[in-house]
Amino acid sequence: MARLQLKNVNKRWGSFVGVDNFDLDIADQEFLVLLGPSGCGKSTTMRMIAGLEDVTEGEIWLGDRMVNNLEPKDRDISMVFQSYGLYPNLSVYENIRFPLRVRKVPKEKHRDMVMKAIEMVELQDFMDRRPAELSGGQRQRVALGRAIVRKPTVFLMDEPLSNLDAKLRVSTRAQIKNLQSKLKTTTVYVTHDQIEAMTLADRVVVMNAGKIQQVGTPTEIYDTPANTFVASFIGSPAMNLVEGKLEKGVFQGDGIHVEGLPAGPSGNVTLGFRAEDAEIVEDQGQIAAPMYSIELLGEASMITWRLGGALVSIKTNKEYRAEIGDIVHARIPASICHLFDTASGERIDDR
């Protein structure tokens, strides 16, 4: 069983807090993604799981063992790095075989184990090549093969796609998802790319400034963000956020007026809504303001206004035409809106 538990884990360097009270239970065979901006503590959390960083406070459990004081080699964890970490003088076959040699797996088992890993990452035609003769995507697949060859209890993946171009990221992402489904191995994956998180994860942990902001399925994170940080970090484009005042269910901000919201809260709030949930209309909308920009995205057009200090965008059909500066109307139903406390950023649930 590869249940992984982090119990109130902290990491400090002097007065600087890198990870603050990280508490999480990761289920056996779960694909968990740590998501957040650079410096948020996600890679530090992964390195503590791997044993590459010491835990300042708290406990890390793998199955029924607390592993805080175990050396990395004794934790039965495989890690895939952003930089591939391949041996340039070894072939693909020997790079993938290397973990078996280090762990003194009987030699008679090597070929069968290595060939199974090579087949899983689809490198049969490249097994005699060296890393310099491979593309970036192929090198990353060698790194994946090396991680899976010895069937570890847990996979750790630290931004493994960040060195690949956009097309390779898409295909390698699909391969990672397929591999994890076949291997059924508990996986912790670190990224700053919210598209990777949303497409790969069973659950996403959104982090900022060393703290967990929200834990949930991709759908939960997207549909009900816990605060304005999560709302602004998840989605492409991010959720529109407009500050204003709410009184008796009526929100009023610069250039935007929405009625029919929950009557309970009042005062300064931040209104949020997704670009795809609102729509452009001919007149009588909740927004009526000069268009700031129009962008053709291929399958749709993106209309943007500047409302006070905020840029607000809505997707519409790709045939829509207007000129910058034209007054454009948008309908924003109260049912699609999210409310956040402006001071704290926390979600207001009153419906």
Q: Give the CATH number of the domain where residue 10 resides.
A: 3.40.50.300
Average pLDDT, the chain: 92
333 and 269 within one domain: yes
211 and 85 within one domain: yes
CATH number, domain containing residue 241: 2.40.50.140
- From residue 194, give the alpha-carbon distance in Å to each of 168, 221, 232: 17, 11, 11
Last residue of a domain, one of 165, 199, 229: 229
On whether residue 348 sits in a domain, the answer given is no
Contact 198, 218 (CB under 8 A): yes
245 and 220 within one domain: no
31 and 166 within one domain: yes
Mean pLDDT over 57-61 rounds to 97
Positive or negative: CA dihedral 122, 126, 131, 136: negative
150 and 293 within one domain: no
On whether residue 347 sits in a domain, the answer given is no
Last residue of a domain, one of 172, 206, 229: 229
Quick: pLDDT tens for 287-334.
999 999 999 998 999 999 999 889 999 999 999 999 999 999 999 999
92 and 182 within one domain: yes
Look at 230 and 160; give whichever has higher pLDDT: 230
How buried is 261 (Cβ within 10 angstroms: 0-12 exposed, 13-18 middle, 19+ buried)? Answer: buried
Pick from 51, 94, 90, 54: which is nearest to 73 by CA? 51
d(CA 91, CA 242): 55
86 and 30 within one domain: yes
219 and 253 within one domain: no
The whole domain housing 179 covers 4-229
Q: Is the pLDDT of residue 83 over 80?
A: no
Q: Is the pLDDT of residue 160 over 90?
A: no
Last residue of a domain, one of 187, 206, 229: 229
Pinpoint the alpha helices (H) of 193-255.
194-200, 218-223, 228-233
323 and 222 within one domain: no
Percent of the chain with pLDDT over 70: 99
- Verdict on whether the full-model pTM lies above 0.75: yes
Joined together, the tokens standing for residue 315 give 């997707």
pLDDT of amino acid 224:
95
Q: What domain count does the chain have?
A: 2
On whether residue 36 sits in a domain, the answer given is yes
On whether residue 349 sits in a domain, the answer given is no
Give the number of other CB atoms < 10 A from CB of residue 7: 16
